[in-house]
Structures are given as structure tokens and as C-alpha cells.
Amino acid sequence: MKSAKFVLSTLSAVVLGIVLLGLVSAPAQAATATTTFAVTATVQATCSVAATPLAFGTYIPTAASANTATVTVTCTNTTPYTLGLNAGTATGATVTNRSMVNGAVLLNYGLFTDSGHTTNFATLASANGTGAAVVTTVYGQVPAGQYVAPNTYTDTITATVTY
């Protein structure tokens, strides 16, 4: 009988343990939910342009006077563009016959794409932007033999980037 009591007692303890396990709450399982969302941007083709002055200094009519300026173009990557220089502000000037003025007096000069002053600078061939600054040198020359009145002569050139 002792053994039946022991079995009953052990069985009661096991049942009680099982009941207690059922009453103790198990740790809650974390639940998750996910989603995605689109991220977009539209890059607009754009270019900027800047230039340095072209100063010939003191002109002596017995010799040509030359100097350079630079035009810097920055365009978004792969943006096609052209760079052009206008005729300036002197009355009657053209891209092949530019003039600085002082009142009504003209001092002729040229702008070129090369240091030999052989290729007139009007519009450069198309290029593609790289996202980096592209520097173009403008070669200027005032030809010898212009015996104009001593004074300061000026002109303004507009550099235009078309893209």
C-alpha cells in the first residue's frame, strides 16, 4: 500500500506540475509586419558658366598684343552642350571682327580657339558634360598697326552655353 500511496503522491505531483506549467504564461512571441516604399529623384539637365577677364594691358601700335581668358563650363553628366561667344557690344561688331570702344573710336581685336590666332572663336563643337568643370582657353589678340587715340578701350563679351 505504501507503494500505491507513493505512486499516487508522485502522480499528484506530476499532475500539479503540469497544471502549474499551463498556468504560467509562456513568453509572448514578437510579431512583425513590413512594407517597402519607393525613393525617387529626377535630375534636371543643367549647366553653369563662368569667365575670367581678358586684359591686353598697354597696347603699342607697332606690335600685336595678346593675352588669354578662360571660360569654365560645368554641366550635369552626359548633358550635351555648345559654348558660344557673341560679337561684343561695339556697333557693327561681328564674331570675326570684334572691337573695343572708347566713345566712337574703335580698337579692333580677335578671339581665337588656338594660341596661333588662326581659328576664330564663335561657337565650339558640341561636348557632353561630365559633372566636372571644363575649362576652355580663349586666346585674344589686338593686331598691330592701329594708331588710335590714347585712352582706355573696352568691350563686353557674352559667353553662352546652350544645352
Beta strands in the chain (DSSP E): 47-51, 65-75, 80-85, 98-102, 105-112, 127-128, 133-142, 159-162
Question: What pLDDT, on the 0 to 100 scale, is given for residue 28?
Answer: 76
Q: How many helices (H) and strands (E) does the chain have?
A: 1, 8
Burial of 84 (0-12, 13-18, 19+ CB in 10 A): middle
- What backbone phi and psi angles, to 5 degrees, belong to 129? -65, 150
- What backbone phi and psi angles, to 5 degrees, belong to 47? -140, 150
What does the alpha-carbon distance between residue 161 and residue 142 come to, in Å, rounded to a whole number?
A: 25
- What backbone phi and psi angles, to 5 degrees, belong to 82? -130, 150
- Total length of the chain: 163
Q: What are the boundaries of each domain within the chain?
A: 47-145
Beta strands in 17-132 (DSSP E): 47-51, 65-75, 80-85, 98-102, 105-112, 127-128
Residues of the chain with pLDDT under 50: 4, 6-8, 11, 15-16, 19-21
Question: Other CB atoms closer than 10 Å to residue 69's CB: what's the count?
Answer: 18
SS3 32: coil
Question: What pLDDT, on the 0 to 100 scale, is given for residue 26?
Answer: 59
